[in-house]
Amino acid sequence: MDVSDLDALFDDHPTELARALLGCELTVTTAEGSVRARLTEVEAYGDQGEDPGAHSYNGKTARNASLFGPPRHLYLYLSYGIHHCANLVGNGNRAGGVLLRAGEVIAGRSLAITRRGGQDTGSKLLSGPGRFAQGMGLTLSMDGQGLQIGEAGDPSVDTVRLVAPREPVDALLISKGPRVGVSGKGGSVRFPWRYWLEGNPSVSRYRPGRGVRRQ
């Protein structure tokens, strides 16, 4: 997959983008340095009125405004007042995106460990959206920031860069199922919009949301 193919996927439905993001590499560069990670687990979220699990379901608010476009930007929010969660905005000019749930560090591990409290938890260092955002240095100040796609572009600090996988991802390694911790219908098998690399140890543990039977 080349740069143009990856870029074009941001105009497709988030489920198409989510699958393609597996194996991609994300680099976050701040004044502290850079951390680069390979994406191993993501969740797609749909448009306004389409997906009851999506923040955009009931319309635009001050908190979710970044989801409503344009695509190729970041949507950051605070979960339970504690954890930052990072999303890549897609779905053309509608209100969809992909939550970054887990990854494996390729470069900048010492910085990621420092951000995670100084404890190296091995393959689980960036396992779960809160840990992922914290270790990568993704914060609320980046909400609405543009995403750079491909190796070319501004190399300065405060950039978030996405590049295609170095090698094609075997489709047989991609699994999908209900999303983690999403309550009600949005967390059911009707929305199997969580995608992960089967057998990768960085993938987070599944837990059903409120009112959802374990699948």
Distance between CA atoms of 102 and 19, rounded to whole angstroms? 14
Q: Which CATH superfamily is domain 3-197 in?
A: Methylpurine-DNA glycosylase (MPG) (3.10.300.10)
pLDDT recorded at residue 4 = 83
Token digits of residue 215:
């699948």
- pLDDT at residue number 146: 95
* Res 38: pLDDT: 98
pLDDT grade, residue 59 (50/70/90)? Answer: very high
Element (H, E) at 138: none
CA distances from 114 to 87, 102, 107, 126, 136 (A): 23, 18, 14, 12, 11
Domain extent listing, the chain: 3-197
More confident: 131 or 80:
131
Q: How many helices (H) and strands (E) does the chain have?
A: 4, 9
Question: What pTM does this model have?
Answer: 0.95
Q: What is the pLDDT of residues 190-202, one digit of tens each?
A: 999 999 999 999 9
Tens digit of each residue's pLDDT (9 = 90 or more) over 141-196: 999 999 999 987 676 767 999 999 988 999 999 999 999 999 999 999 999 999 99
